[in-house]
Amino acid sequence: MSTTTSATNRTTLPVVPDTDPSRFVLDSYKIAIAKIVGDALGLSVEQVYPGVAWGKKGVDFTVALPRFRLPGKVDELAKKVIASFEPNDYIASIEHDKAFLHFMCNTDNLNRDVLTQIHTLGADYGKNESGKGKKLVIEYSSPNIAKSFHVGHLRSTIIGAFLANLYKACGWEVVGLNYLGDWGTQFGLIAVGFEKYGSQEALEKDAIKHLFDVYVKINQDAEKDPQVRVDAAAWFRRMENFEPEALENWKVWRELSVKKYEEEYDRLNVHFDVYTGENGTSIYLTRDIGGAIERYEKYKFDKMIYVVSAQQDLHLAQFFKVLELMEFPWAKDLLHINYGLVQGMSTRKGTVVFLNQIIEDATQIMHEQMQANEDKYKAVEDPEFTSREIGISGIKIQDMAAKRINNYTFSKERMFSFEGDTGPYLQYAHVRLASVGRKNPNLLPLPPPSEIATDHLSQYAQARDIVFLLGQYPDVVLTALKTHEPSGVVTYLFRLTHAVSSAWETVIVKGEPDVEKAKAKLFLFEQAKVVLNAGMQLLSLRPLDRM
């Protein structure tokens, strides 16, 4: 079997397929465990490796012996492994608990390996090349043109942006599509409404808001007067017949809408490669089938994802089935990523909650909270931008904190709190990590990792907890790729920030008299910041350094 040496003067480890210690150093520790168990029980490393699982609290890794279906009592097998074990560069101890073997890593080497790898890879830590050479097309967000961006559109936007970032982090080429809909009777309604309530001046000032106001007013008229819908249908037919005046309105409103949406998306840190949309009318199913065929011809994708609410489950299933029955071989590569509803929203009566308003409210609330600390507030270069980013983080994290299929009730109070597991708390944790270096300029710049005495960290249980969590980040990314769940990344970031928070009172940098020890502690917090930053960016947040 071929071998590789993972660090200078280390135990030589076998190479295991689909592992990459150069990007995920804990693979080395898992391989070492697989070798210990395999050598003792007459199994290959490849047979044991998939059975090396993350341990529960207080344990690094666990192996469940019954999975190997070996003859003999489990107790005897466990004793055999323990009897043959000698501590090595990777594994310090094994404990036996019924059918399980629990492994603890060599703390000195664990600290050095994980922190050095993060420092070496920097912003690329956690990324992998599992999708190298593959192309993803992903359609998400897809609001209706001439209708203001509201919280109902937000879920598809936030989840879609996360998935686009995730696939890029895993080596895929990603094409993000935004399908702008509503060439239809609703658009006919807006056209009729514009004749009655429209203002060219208001249109040029804020097209989406003005057209939405028109839409609300004409809807109210339509409830009292059936003729309004008759007129709307007539206008719609003019569009179907490609009458220049009807089409001209549609084109102008679409261009103004796209321009406004691009501003909204930029604020949300979401970016599309292509804006597409309806240019004729047909039932949804035939439109979607034609669109999918056209996209395959254009992009030759390896996978195409539609981020659409669970209300459309049946429609998407029928659409995929039709393409399969049409014998398109790529039909198997279509994937519907669904999600639950944001509850407490009304869209027809004008009582819809607009994203713009929420962001403005959030910005104001966060601005007031920042001003409460005058000294810190003075140090913030752009308070408006900073308070807005904290607010947007609150909106996004509330959306992604639970599994996407779950419905959730939109809550401003919860969203904008610095207490508990919220977006503002993540930003606060990042700011605090960023401040450690600023408060200890005498330790900067830090020397290369090989000259930092990370063994000093071994005396702090809290430091070890942080390091082991940091080491898991590449696996968190790979798991998210399998589940398409942002909530796993959110949960991980809160576990990490809680671990860091627990260390502030014990792993103290400022005032540490031993300079070498102080450097090791700062090195730990600097790498924690790298990983928190990467995870936040994966979730499309903009991490802040001051607030």
Looking at residues 181-209, what average pLDDT do you find?
Answer: 84
Looking at the structure, tell me whether residues 230 and 285 fall in a common domain.
Answer: yes
Residue 93 confidence (pLDDT) above 90: yes
Neighbours of 19 (CB within 10 A): 18
Greatest Cα pair distance, the chain, in angstroms, is 88
Looking at the structure, tell me whether residues 9 and 33 fall in a common domain.
Answer: yes
Looking at the structure, tell me whether residues 233 and 372 fall in a common domain.
Answer: no
Q: Which CATH number characterizes residue 33's domain? A: 3.30.1360.70
DSSP 405: T
Q: Where are the beta strands (DSSP E) in 383-539?
A: 408-409
Residue 7 confidence (pLDDT) above 80: no
Looking at the structure, tell me whether residues 95 and 178 fall in a common domain.
Answer: no
Answer whether 429's CB lies under 8 Å from 514's CB: no
Looking at the structure, tell me whether residues 337 and 378 fall in a common domain.
Answer: no
The residue assigned the tokens 């790729």 is 481
Last residue of a domain, one of 279, 313, 343: 343
Helix/strand/coil for 122: helix
Is residue 138 within a helix (H) or strand (E), and if so which, with residue range? strand 135-139
Summarize pLDDT for 238-278 with one digit per residue, the tens.
Answer: 888 889 988 888 888 878 888 888 888 999 999 999 887 65
Summarize pLDDT for 424-433 with one digit per residue, the tens.
Answer: 999 999 999 9
Q: Which two tokens stand for residue 185?
A: 């009777």
Does residue 348 belong to any structural domain of this protein? Answer: no
Q: Is 241 exposed, middle or buried (0-12, 13-18, 19+ CB in 10 A)?
A: exposed
Q: Which two tokens stand for residue 159?
A: 């989840």
- Write down the pTM of the prediction: 0.91
Does residue 130 belong to any structural domain of this protein? Answer: no
Neighbours of 207 (CB within 10 A): 22
Q: How far apart are CA 544 and CA 547, in angstroms?
A: 7
Q: Is 495 exposed, middle or buried (0-12, 13-18, 19+ CB in 10 A)?
A: middle
Last residue of a domain, one of 318, 343, 368: 343
Looking at residues 51-71, what average pLDDT do you find?
Answer: 97
Range with lowest mean pLDDT among 5-14, 238-247, 475-484? 5-14
Looking at the structure, tell me whether residues 216 and 339 fall in a common domain.
Answer: yes
Looking at the structure, tell me whether residues 289 and 388 fall in a common domain.
Answer: no
Bridging pattern class, strands 408-409 and 342-343: parallel
Q: Which two tokens stand for residue 248?
A: 């001209």
Percent of the chain scoring above 90 in pLDDT? 72
Residue 45 confidence (pLDDT) above 70: yes
Helix/strand/coil for 422: coil
Predicted local confidence at residue 52, as pLDDT: 99
Answer whether 148's CB lies under 8 Å from 259's CB: no
Query: Is 315 annotated in the active site?
Result: no
Does residue 544 belong to any structural domain of this protein? Answer: no
Answer whether 184's CB lies under 8 Å from 240's CB: no
Q: How far apart are CA 228 and CA 219, in angstroms?
A: 9
Does residue 368 belong to any structural domain of this protein? Answer: yes
DSSP 303: E
Query: Is 224 annotated in the active site?
Result: no
Q: How far apart are CA 134 and CA 198, in angstroms?
A: 48
Q: Which two tokens stand for residue 476?
A: 């968190």
Looking at the structure, tell me whether residues 403 and 287 fall in a common domain.
Answer: no
Does residue 349 belong to any structural domain of this protein? Answer: no
Last residue of a domain, one of 319, 343, 367: 343
Looking at the structure, tell me whether residues 338 and 450 fall in a common domain.
Answer: no
Q: Which two tokens stand for residue 72?
A: 């003999």
Does residue 86 belong to any structural domain of this protein? Answer: yes
Residue 169 confidence (pLDDT) above 50: yes
Looking at the structure, tell me whether residues 190 and 72 fall in a common domain.
Answer: no
Crossing angle of the two packed helices 486-503 and 461-483, in degrees rounded to 10: 170
Report how many domains make up the chain: 3
Q: Which of 147, 260, 456, 519 is catalytic?
A: 147
Q: Is 205 exposed, middle or buried (0-12, 13-18, 19+ CB in 10 A)?
A: exposed
Looking at the structure, tell me whether residues 497 and 520 fall in a common domain.
Answer: yes
Q: How far apart are CA 40 and CA 145, in angstroms?
A: 66
Q: Which CATH number characterizes residue 416's domain? A: 1.10.730.10
The residue assigned the tokens 């898992």 is 30
Helix/strand/coil for 148: coil
Does residue 55 belong to any structural domain of this protein? Answer: yes
Helix/strand/coil for 181: strand
What is the extent of the structural domain holding 261? 135-343
- Pick the more confident residue, 419 or 151: 419
Answer whether 450's CB lies under 8 Å from 545's CB: no
Residue 414 confidence (pLDDT) above 80: no
> Among positive and negative, which fits the CA dihedral 263, 265, 269, 274?
negative
Does residue 464 belong to any structural domain of this protein? Answer: yes
Looking at the structure, tell me whether residues 266 and 311 fall in a common domain.
Answer: yes
> Among positive and negative, which fits the CA dihedral 13, 170, 311, 286?
negative
- Nearest 5 degrees, angle CA 43-CA 48-CA 50? 155
Give strand pairing partners of 102: 62, 95
Predicted local confidence at residue 355, as pLDDT: 78
Query: Is 153 annotated in the active site?
Result: yes
Q: Which of 35, 80, 98, 150 is catalytic?
A: 150
Q: How far apart are CA 37 and CA 346, in angstroms?
A: 59
pLDDT band with cut points at 50, 70 and 90 for residue 341: confident
Per-position b or e across 365-390, b if 16+ CB within 10 A of its CB: bbbebbeeeeeebeebeebeebbbbb
Q: Which CATH number characterizes residue 331's domain? A: 3.40.50.620
Whether omega for the bond prior to residue 445 falls within 30 degrees of 0, making it cis, is yes
Q: Residue 380 corresponds to which amino acid?
A: V
Range with lowest mean pLDDT among 54-63, 278-287, 522-531? 278-287
Nearest to 273 by CA among 439, 85, 151, 138: 138
Q: Which of 30, 35, 153, 529 is catalytic?
A: 153
Summarize pLDDT for 308-338 with one digit per residue, the tens.
Answer: 999 999 999 999 999 999 999 999 999 999 9
Distances in whole angstroms, Cα of residue 220 to Cα of each of 193, 226, 230, 232: 10, 11, 15, 14
Q: How far apart are CA 526 and CA 518, in angstroms?
A: 12
